[in-house]
Structure 1
Amino acid sequence: MNVVSMVVLGVSSLCFGFGALLKLFSGTVDIVEWEFVSVNSSSIIFTLIFDWISLLFMSFVFLISSSVLYYSGSYMQADKSFNRFMYLVLAFVLSMMAMVMSPNLISILLGWDGLGLVSYALVIYYQNEKSANAGMLTVLSNRVGDVAILLSIGLMMSLGGWNFVVNSFYMSDGNWIFLKSLVLMAAMTKSAQIPFSAWLPAAMAAPTPVSALVHSSTLVTAGVYLMIRFSAALEGSKLQSVLLIISCLTMFMAGLGANFEYDLKKIIALSTLSQLGVMLSILALGYVNLAFFHLLSHALFKALLFMCAGVVIHSMGDSQDIRFMGGLVKFMPLSVSYMTIANLALCGFPFLAGFYSKDLLLEVAFLSWMNFIAFMLFVMATGLTVSYTMRLIYYSLSGTCNSSSLSNISDGDKVMMSSMSMLGLGAVTGGCLLSWLMFPECYMICMSPFMKMLVLMISVLGGVLGYFMNLLNVTSYLSSLSNYKIVVMAGSMWFMPFLSAVKNSEVAFISGSYMQKMGDKGWYEHFGAQGAYYFFSKGFNVVNSLQLNSVKVFMKVFIISVVVILFVYICLYNL
C-alpha cells in the first residue's frame, strides 16, 4: 500500500509542479466555485483556487508525503496498526489540500479542522499517557484558532462574501481591526507562536514519520500560508508591529530552548518553531514572496532532518537522548551525511537550500525599517540556530560513542535510505531552483560591509560557541545548581508548557466548580428545568380543575373576568 501511495503522490507532485510553472509564467489564476445557498445577499460558496502559490505548495506537500509514506513502509513495518497509520496520513494530505486550495473562509474550515482532527489522532497514535496529554494540549491549543476562524466568518458576512483573497484588499484598520486580529490569532495558534508555542514540542510524541510530514512542513506552516493569503489586509496595519515582535520573540525563545534540550526530536521541533518565527517576521515586514520561498525550502531540509533523526532513533533502540549517542559518523556514514546536509542547510550554509532563502531573508530584514529590539532578536536568533545545530553535531555525530556495546547501529535499511535520498537532493538543489523560478530578477541590496558580514560573523560565532562550549564542558557549569532558575526558564520555553497545561487546568477546574455550584446547582435550576417543572405543574393543575368542574367553574371565572374588566374600564374612563 505504501508503494502505491508513494507512486500516486509522486505523480501528483509532478503534475502540480508543472501546473505551478504554467501559472507562474502565464500569470493566470483559475477559480472554481460551487454555490450552496444565498443568505441576505451573501452566498455560501465552496471555492477552489488554482494559482502558482497553491499549486507549488501542493507539489511540495505531495513530494514530501510520498517520501514519508515510502519511508514509513520500513519504519512502521512492525506496527500492528500500520494500515490505520497510512489512512491517517492520507487523510492529513487531503485535509492539507482542502486548506491550501480554498480562498474562502467557510470552505477553508474543511481543511483547517481536518488538519487539527487528524493531527490529534496521529499524536495519540502510541496509546500511552504521554501521548494522550500531548494530544490534548495540541488539540485544545488549536481550537483557539478554530474559534477565531468561526468568529471571523460571522464578521465577514457584512462584506457580502467570504473570499478573503479578494476581500482582504478592502479591509482598513478602522472597521476591520478586530477581524484581522482574529485571523492573526488563528495563524499564531496553528504556527505555534507565543503564547501558543507549547504544543509543537509536545506533539513530538507522534511517530517520527508523522513529525517529518505533519510537524515540520505542512501542519505548522498552515498558519503562515493563511497569513500569506491575508497579506493584503496586513499591509499598513497596526498588527504588523504586533506580529513582528511576537514572531521575533518566538524564534529567539525557541533557539534558546534548543540549546538546553537533550531530546533529539524536540531539538528539531524547536528548530521548526524558530523558522516559523522567521517566516512570520519577514511576512510582517511586507515581503510575502520571501516568506513563501523560505516556507518551501525549509520544508525540504526539515523533513529530511526528521527522517534522519528517525533512522538514528531506530538504530539506537528507540532512544532519543543525544547524550547516549556520539560517534555516529563511524557507524552510519550515509545517514550522518544527509543529517549534516540538512543541518547545514538550516544554518544557511552557502549554496544549500537554506542559504538562498535565509541569507536573502536576513539581508532584506536588515534593510527594512524595524526597531532595535526586533533587529537584535533577529541577530541573536541567527546565532542561536547555528549554536544548537553545532551542539547537536557534537553530541550525536562526532566524539566518542556513548551507547551500549551491544548496539547494532548501521545504515542497513535501503528503503529509508532511498526515501531520504530524494529529499537530500531537494535540500541541495531546491533552493537555487526555487530562487531562479520565483525571483528571475534579482533584489537590489545595498549594505555596508559590516552589515553584509554581520550574518556570517554571527553564524561563525554561534557555531564556535555551540561546539566548543560543549567540547570544553562549559555547559555543565552553566547547567549547575547555581544557575538552576535561569537554566530552567531558558530550557522550558519560558514556562509556557507549565502555563498552557497546569495553570490552564487549575483555572478550568476552579471556574468549573464555581459554575457547577452557582449555575448547574443554583440559578440554572431555578430558571431552568426545576423552574419550568414548577410552572407547568401549577398550570396543568388549573387546566385540570377547569376540565373536571364543568360549567360552575367556567361561570365563576367568566363572571370574575367580566367584573375585573369593567372595573378597569371604569377606572380608566374616570381618569
Structure 2
Amino acid sequence: MWFMINDYMLIMEFSLMKLNSLSLEMVILLDWMSLLFMSFVLYISSMVIFYSKEYMHSDKNLSRFIILVSLFVLSMMFLIISPNLISILLGWDGLGLVSYCLVVYYQNMKSYNAGMLTALTNRIGDVALLMGIAWMMNYGSWNYIFYLEFMKSDYSMSMISWLVILAALTKSAQIPFSSWLPAAMAAPTPVSSLVHSSTLVTAGIYLLIRFNYALTFNMLLILLFIGTMTMFMAGLGANFEFDLKKIIALSTLSQLGLMLSILALGEYKLSFFHLLSHALFKATLFMCAGCMIHNLNNCQDIRFMGSLIKQMPLTCCFFHIANLSLCGIPFLAGFYSKDLILEIFSMSYMNLFIYLIFFISTGLTVSYSFRLVYYFMMGDFNFLSLNNISDYGTIMLKSMMGLIFLVIMGGSLLSWLIFPTPFFICLPLIMKMMVLIVTLIGLFMGLEFSKFALHYNLKMNYYLKSTLFFSNMWNMPILSTFGMNYYFTDLGKLYYWNLDQGWSEYLGSQKIFMNLKKLSMIFQFLFFNNLKIYFLLIIIYMSFMFIMYF
C-alpha cells in the first residue's frame, strides 16, 4: 500500500557476468503490482499447504508433496519479481518442470499422459522465450522493462513481443493450446487449487501485463480474438461436462480468456484486478470441490452428488459464495472486476461480434455455475447407500474460512486500492443493466438445461453428439494428442513392414508364402463345405447353360 500511494518502485541489480558489451544481471523489481501479486500468491499457497495437511494425510510421500508445492511457489516468486528475461526464464521453466512433477504425482497412466501433454505444450512457450532471449542480445542487456516503450517500433522488439505472446498463450492455455488445462486435473486437488488460482496459468497473463507497452495494434487485435474465442469455447464446454474438477478448470479457462481480452483492449490494470479477485474465489472453489471429492471416496462425477447441502452444509455454503462471486453477483469479489470490465467494454468502440461473444460468455459462466448447483444441491443423492459424508475436515474448513472473507470483501478492497480515482462510466440504462440481465438469463438457462439433460439425455442421440463435441473443447484434445501421434505411428508401421523388414522379403519369399497361404485357405474353405459348394456350383452351371441356350 505504501508503494502504491507513493507510486514507488525499487529495482535491485546484481551483476553476475559481463561478456564484451553484454551484461547478465539478476534483477529484482519491487513495485505495487509485483508486491500485491506476491502477497496474494503467498497467502493462497499458505492456505493450500495447510489444507494439504488433511487432504493428503494418508499419503506416504506427504513431505515430498509439500516440497514440490513450495518449489512451485518459489518459481512463481522468481517470475513475479523479474524484469529480466533470463531470470524470468528461471521461474518460467521452474513452473513447467514442477507442474509436470505434480501432475504425475499419482503414478498411473492417465496422470502420465496428462503430465506429458502439460509439459510438452508448455515447452513450446519455453522455446519461444529462449528465442526472445536470443533476439534481446541486440540491446546489450536482458532487462526488457527499460526497452518496452522506447523501442516499441523497432523490428527486434516486435519479434520479441510476438515470441512473448506465443509463450503467454501456451502458459495461459489459450486456443489452440487449451487441451492441457483440463488434462492437468490429474494432479491432487490442492495443486489444482494453486495452479488455477494464482500460479501457473496466470503467469502468461502477468507477463503480458508487464509487456503491454510493447504490444502493437495488430498484436492486440489477435490477442482479443484469441481471448474471446477461448472464453466462449470454455464456457460452452463447461455446460456439457460432468467431471467436477474439469468444470472448474474450464471455468478458469473462460476467466483467463476474459483477462486476455480486456488486456487486449488496453486496460492492463483492470486485467490485473480481475486476475487477483479471480484467484481468491477460484482457490476457494477448488478447495470446496476437494472436500466433496474427499468425502465421496474420490468420486468426481457430479451426477452422483445430489442434496449435499444436507450432509455438508458449511462446505456447500463456501462453495455457493465462491460460485456467486464467479458469476459476478453484486457486492462479492468477482462483481467489482467483472462488472467494471463489461461496462468499460460497453463504453469502448468495438464490433458487434466481440460484444456478443463477451456477453454470451458471461451468461454461459452463470449457466454452468447454476447447473453445478442444480446437480449437487437439488437433485437426488445417487451415491452409495452406506456412506459417511459430513463436514468433518476441520483443517480443510479452516483453510477455506481463511479465504472466504476475502472472497466476500476482497473485490471492494482491491478496487479502492488499485483505482483510487473511480472510473467515470456513462451508459444508457439498458446497457448498464445488460450485465444483470445476462446473468439472470444464464441462471435460468443453466437450471432449465440441467433439468432437460437429466431427463432426456439418454433418449436423444443428437444431444449426446453435441455433448461429445462441446465437452471435448471443439476436439482440441484429439488434435493435440491423437491427431499428433497416430498418423505418424501408423506411417512408421508401414515403413517398418515394407522397408525395414526388407523389401526383398516383402516382395519375395514372404509374399509368395502369403499368396500360397491365401490360396490354400480358399481351397480349404471349398473342401470343408464340399457338398454345399458342389450343389451351388451345379446350380450356377445349370443357370449359365440355361441362359446360353436361350
Structure 1 SS opposite 2:25? strand
Alignment partner, residue 231 of structure 2: 251
* Residue 371 (structure 1) aligned to one of 334, 345, 351: 351
**Cα shift at 1:376:** 1.2
For the structure 1 residues 115 and 332, does the alpha-carbon distance in structure 2 shift closer, same or farther, using more than 3 Å as the test? same
Aligned equivalent of 2:167, options 180, 186, 191: 186
SS of the aligned residue for 2:17 comes to strand
Distance (whole Å) between structure 2 residues aligned to residue 173 and residue 507 of structure 1: 43
Alignment of 1:135-154 (within 5 A): 135-154=115-134
Structure 2 residue 33 is matched with structure 1 residue 66:
no
Give matches, 1:288-327, under 5 Å: 288-327=268-307
Structure 1 pair 71–386 and aligned structure 2 pair: CA distance change class (3 A): same
Deviation sequence 1:503-541 (CA, Å, 0-9, x none): 112365479899999xx9xxxxxxxxxxxxxxxxxxxxx
Task: Confirm or deny that 1:434 pairs with 2:414.
Answer: yes
Give the superposition deviation at 1:468.
2.1
Consecutive unaligned residues of structure 1, counting only runs of 5 or more, are 1-20, 521-575
- Residue 89 (str. 1) matches residue 62 (str. 2): no
Instruction: Determine the C-alpha separation between the residues in 2 that align with 1:286 and 1:475.
Output: 46
Q: Which of residues 389, 394, 400 in structure 2 aligns to 1:409? A: 389
Classify the secondary structure of the residue corresponding to 1:36: strand
1:168-567 equivalent positions in 2, closer than 5 A: 168-173=148-153, 175=155, 176-234=157-215, 236-473=216-453, 476-477=456-457, 480-506=460-486, 509=489
Q: Which amino acid in the other structure matches residue 398 of structure 1?
A: M
Question: Partner amino acid for 2:380?
Answer: T
Which residue number in structure 1 is paired with residue 527 of structure 2?
A: none
Give the letter aligned to residue 149 of structure 2.
F
**Partner secondary structure for residue 221 of structure 1:** helix
SS at match of 2:24: strand
CA distance in 2 between counterparts of 1:465 and 1:483 reads: 16
Secondary structure, counterpart of 1:356 in structure 2: helix
Q: State the number of aligned residues.
A: 498
Deviation at 1:171, TM superposition (A): 3.6
Is contact 2:228-2:354 (8 Å) kept? yes
* Native 8 Å contact 2:125 2:171 kept in 1: yes
Q: How far 1:198 sits from its partner (Å)?
A: 0.3
4+ residue segments displaced more than 4 Å: 472-475, 507-517
Taking only aligned residues, the RMSD between alpha carbons, in angstroms, comes to 2.0
- CA apart distance, 1:486: 2.9
The code of the aligned residue for 1:222 comes to A
Aligned counterparts, 1:24-173, within 5 A: 24-173=4-153
Superposed CA offset, 1:30-71 (max 9, x none): 111112222341211111101111111010001001100110
Residues 302, 376 of structure 2: 8 Å contact kept? yes
Do the aligned residues in 1 keep the contact of 2:457 with 2:464 (CA within 8 Å)?
no
Tell me, yes or no, if structure 1 residue 23 matches structure 2 residue 12. Answer: no
1:473 deviates by 4.2
Tell me: CA distance 1:351–1:501, structure 2 relative to 1, closer, same or farther (3 Å): same
Instruction: Please report how far the alpha carbon of residue 405 of structure 1 lies from its aligned counterpart in structure 2 after TM superposition.
Output: 1.3
Structure 1 residues 179, 479: closer, same or farther in 2, change over 3 A? farther
Q: What amino acid is the match of 2:261?
A: S
Q: 1:107 to 1:264 in 2, by over 3 A?
A: same
Tell me, yes or no, if the aligned pair for 1:327 and 1:400 is still in contact at 8 Å: yes
Instruction: Return the alpha-carbon distance in structure 2 between the equivalents of residues 293 and 511 of structure 1.
Output: 50
Contact 2:197 / 2:280 at 8 angstroms: preserved in 1? no
Query: SS of 1:169's equivalent?
Result: coil
Provide TM-score, normalisation by structure 2.
0.87
Length-normalised TM-score, structure 1: 0.84
Aligned residues of 1:173 and 1:237 also touching (Cα < 8 A)? no
Alpha-carbon deviations, 1:521-569, whole Å to 9, x = none?
Answer: xxxxxxxxxxxxxxxxxxxxxxxxxxxxxxxxxxxxxxxxxxxxxxxxx
Name the CA shift for 1:307/1:291 in 2 (closer, same or farther; >3 Å): same
- Return the alpha-carbon distance in structure 1 between the equivalents of residues 342 and 264 of structure 2: 13
Shift of residue 449 of structure 1? 1.2
Task: Indicate the residue corresponding to 1:523 in structure 2.
Answer: none
Tell me by how many angstroms 1:244 deviates.
0.1
User: Percent identical across equivalent pairs?
Assistant: 55
* Deviations 1:102-149, CA, capped at 9 Å, x for gaps: 110011111000000000000000000000000000000000000000
Q: Distance in 2 between matches of 1:160 and 1:507?
A: 45
Unaligned runs of 5+ in 2: 501-550
Aligned residue identity for 1:208: T
Deviation per CA, 1:342-386, whole angstroms, max 9, x where unpaired?
A: 000000011100001110011111212222221111011000000
The question of whether the paired residues in 1 share the 8 Å contact of 2:30 and 2:81 is answered with yes
Task: Judge conservation of contact 1:255–1:385 (CA < 8 Å) in 2.
Answer: yes
Letter in 1 for 2:85: L
CA distance 1:456–1:47, shift in 2 (3 Å): same
Aligned partners of 2:43, 2:100: CA distance in 1, in Å? 23
1:377 and 1:257 map into 2 onto residues whose CA distance is 15
2:16 counterpart SS class: strand
8 Å contact 2:11–2:29 — kept in the other structure? yes
